[in-house]
Amino acid sequence: MSEDAPFDLDALAARLAAEDGPRLWRSLEELADRPELRRLMEAEFPDVFEASSVDRRTLLRLMSASLALGGLAACNGGDAGSHAPLLSQSRNMPGYTPGVPVTIATSLPLNGFGRGVLVKSQEGRPIKIEGNPLHPASLGATDVFAQAEILSLYDPDRSDTPLQDGSPRRWEELTRFIRPVRNELVVGEGRGLHILMAPTSSPTLHRLISYTRELFPHAQWHVFTPIDDDARRAAVLDGFGRDLDFVYDLTQADTIVTLGGDLFAEEPGHLRYAADYQKRRRMRDRELPRLFAIETRPSLVGARADERIVLRPRDVDAFVRGLAASLEAGVAPAPDVHPSVPRLAELLRRAGPRCLVVAGREMPSEVHALALAINTRLGAFGTTIRAIEPVRPIIDGAQTLHDLAKAIEADQVSHLLVLGGNPAYTAPADLDLPSLIRRVPHSLHLGQHRDETASVCRWHVPETHPLESWGDLRAFDGTVGLRQPATMPLKPALSAEEFLGLMAGQTVDGQGLVQATWREVWGEGFEARWARSLEDGVVDGSALPSIDIAWRSDWRPEPAAPVSSGGIDVVFAPDPSVWDGSYANNGWLQELPKPLTKQVWGNAALIAPETADIFGISSGDAIDLTVEGRVIRAPVWVMPGHAPAAVTLTLGYGRQQAGRIGNQIGFDAYAVRPSRRPWIATGEIKVAGQRIPLISTQHHHALQGRDIIRVVAPGQDTPQDSDDRPSLYPEWPYEEHAWGMAIDLDACIGCNACVIACQAENNIAVVGPEEVAKGREMHWLRVDRYHSGEPADPSTYFQPVPCMHCEKAPCEVVCPVNATVHSSEGLNDMVYNRCIGTRTCSNNCPYKVRRFNFLDYQGTDYTPSADAMNPQVTVRDRGVMEKCTYCVQRIGAARAGARVEDRRLRDGEVMTACQQACPTQAIVFGDVNDPDSAVSRLKKDRRSYALLGDLNTQPRTTYLARIEIPAEEG
Show contacts with another protein in window 440-459 (CB under 8 A).
none
Query: Do residues 666 and 575 touch, judged by C-beta distance below 8 A?
Result: no
Which of 833, 932, 967, 969: binder of another protein (CB under 8 A)? 833
Q: What gap in Å lies between CA 669 and CA 168, rounded to an integer? A: 31
Segment contacting another protein by CB under 8 A, of 394-402, 429-437, 540-548, 817-825: 817-825
Q: Which is nearer to another protein, 194 or 737 (CB)?
A: 737
Minimum gap (Å) between residue 738 Cβ and another protein: 11
Helix (H) or strand (E) holding 67: helix 56-73
Q: What gap in Å lies between CA 700 and CA 45, rounded to an integer? A: 9
Q: Which is nearer to another protein, 479 or 885 (CB)?
A: 885
76 is a site residue for another protein (CB under 8 A): no
Q: What gap in Å lies between CA 765 and CA 345, rounded to an integer? A: 50
Minimum gap (Å) between residue 84 Cβ and another protein: 7
Minimum gap (Å) between residue 297 Cβ and another protein: 41
Task: Report the amino acid identity of residue 718.
Answer: T
Which of 832, 907, 909, 929: binder of another protein (CB under 8 A)? 832
Which of 603, 619, 885, 936: binder of another protein (CB under 8 A)? 885
Which of 58, 690, 716, 824: binder of another protein (CB under 8 A)? 824
Q: Where are the beta strands (DSSP E) in 298-400?
A: 307-310, 355-359, 385-388
Q: Which is nearer to another protein, 461 or 928 (CB)?
A: 928
Q: Which is nearer to another protein, 525 or 733 (CB)?
A: 733
Q: Which is nearer to another protein, 18 or 900 (CB)?
A: 900
Show contacts with another protein in window 834-873 (CB under 8 A).
872-873
Minimum gap (Å) between residue 899 Cβ and another protein: 5
- Site pattern 726..765 for another protein (x: CB under 8 A): -------x-xx-----------------------------
Q: Which is nearer to another protein, 215 or 875 (CB)?
A: 875
- Chain Cα centroid distance, residue 346: 34
Minimum gap (Å) between residue 85 Cβ and another protein: 4
Which of 721, 829, 907, 909: binder of another protein (CB under 8 A)? 829
Alpha helices in 822-942 (DSSP H): 840-844, 888-900, 913-917, 934-939
CB neighbours of 691 closer than 8 A, spacing ≥ 6?
Answer: 4, 620, 621, 622, 635
- Kindly state the number of chain residues that form the binding site for another protein, as judged by CB under 8 A: 44
CB neighbours of 885 closer than 8 A, spacing ≥ 6?
Answer: 762, 780, 803, 827, 829, 830
Q: Which is nearer to another protein, 398 or 875 (CB)?
A: 875
Q: Which is nearer to another protein, 738 or 756 (CB)?
A: 738
Minimum gap (Å) between residue 92 Cβ and another protein: 5
Q: What gap in Å lies between CA 152 and CA 145, rounded to an integer? A: 10
Q: Which is nearer to another protein, 464 or 762 (CB)?
A: 762
Overall size of the chain counted in residues:
970
Q: Which is nearer to another protein, 369 or 888 (CB)?
A: 888
Minimum gap (Å) between residue 511 Cβ and another protein: 20
Closest CA to 538 of 131, 18, 172: 131
Minimum gap (Å) between residue 780 Cβ and another protein: 13
Name the CA radius of gyration of the chain, rounded. Answer: 28
Q: Which is nearer to another protein, 690 or 824 (CB)?
A: 824
Alpha helices in 479-525 (DSSP H): 496-503, 510-522
Minimum gap (Å) between residue 421 Cβ and another protein: 38
CB neighbours of 355 closer than 8 A, spacing ≥ 6?
Answer: 253, 254, 255, 256, 257, 348, 374, 375, 378, 380, 384
Q: Running DSSP on this structure, what letter comes out for residue 289?
A: P
Show contacts with another protein in window 887-926 (CB under 8 A).
888-889, 891-892, 895-896, 899-900, 902
Minimum gap (Å) between residue 756 Cβ and another protein: 20
Which of 318, 534, 631, 821: binder of another protein (CB under 8 A)? 821
Q: Running DSSP on this structure, what letter comes out for residue 824?
A: T
Minimum gap (Å) between residue 725 Cβ and another protein: 24
CB neighbours of 282 closer than 8 A, spacing ≥ 6?
Answer: none
Segment contacting another protein by CB under 8 A, of 259-267, 453-461, 749-757, 883-891: 883-891
Q: Running DSSP on this structure, what letter comes out for residue 575?
A: B
Minimum gap (Å) between residue 915 Cβ and another protein: 18
Alpha helices in 333-474 (DSSP H): 341-351, 365-377, 401-409, 423-426, 433-439, 452-456
Spell out a b/e string for 64-90, using b for 16 or more CB atoms within 10 Å of the CB, else e. Answer: eeeeeeeeeeeeeeeeeeeeeeeeeee
Q: Which is nearer to another protein, 92 or 664 (CB)?
A: 92
Segment contacting another protein by CB under 8 A, of 140-148, 157-165, 694-702, 818-826: 818-826
Q: Which is nearer to another protein, 340 or 874 (CB)?
A: 874
Segment contacting another protein by CB under 8 A, of 74-82, 208-216, 537-545, 918-926: 74-82
Q: Which is nearer to another protein, 460 or 876 (CB)?
A: 876
**DSSP line for 157-174:** TB--S-EETTEE--HHHH
Q: What gap in Å lies between CA 74 and CA 124, rounded to an integer? A: 35
Task: Report the amino acid identity of residue 643.
Answer: A
Query: Do residues 774 and 45 touch, judged by C-beta distance below 8 A?
Result: no
Which of 771, 825, 882, 927: binder of another protein (CB under 8 A)? 825
Q: Which is nearer to another protein, 328 or 735 (CB)?
A: 735
Minimum gap (Å) between residue 875 Cβ and another protein: 8
Show contacts with another protein in window 714-733 (CB under 8 A).
733
Show contacts with another protein in window 77-136 (CB under 8 A).
78-92, 97-100
- Chain Cα centroid distance, residue 149: 12
Q: Which is nearer to another protein, 823 or 840 (CB)?
A: 823
Q: What gap in Å lies between CA 40 and CA 61, rounded to an integer? A: 27
Minimum gap (Å) between residue 755 Cβ and another protein: 20
Alpha helices in 795-887 (DSSP H): 810-814, 840-844
**DSSP line for 218-281:** T-EEEE--SS--HHHHHHHHHHHSS--EEEE-TTS-SEEEEESS-TTTTSTTHHHHHHHHHHHH
- Site pattern 518..557 for another protein (x: CB under 8 A): ----------------------------------------
Helix (H) or strand (E) holding 962: strand 962-963
Minimum gap (Å) between residue 956 Cβ and another protein: 14
| 294: Cα within 13 Å, side-chain hemisphere | 28
Alpha helices in 95-170 (DSSP H): 144-153
Minimum gap (Å) between residue 897 Cβ and another protein: 9
Minimum gap (Å) between residue 93 Cβ and another protein: 8
- Site pattern 608..627 for another protein (x: CB under 8 A): --------------------
Q: What gap in Å lies between CA 877 and CA 881, rounded to an integer? A: 9
Taking residue 904's Cβ as centre, other Cβ atoms within 10 Å add up to 14
Minimum gap (Å) between residue 73 Cβ and another protein: 17
Q: Where are the beta strands (DSSP E) in 544-638?
A: 568-573, 599-600, 605-607, 621-627, 630-638
The site for another protein (CB under 8 A) is made up of: 78-92, 97-100, 733, 735-736, 821, 823-825, 827, 829, 831-833, 872-874, 885, 888-889, 891-892, 895-896, 899-900, 902
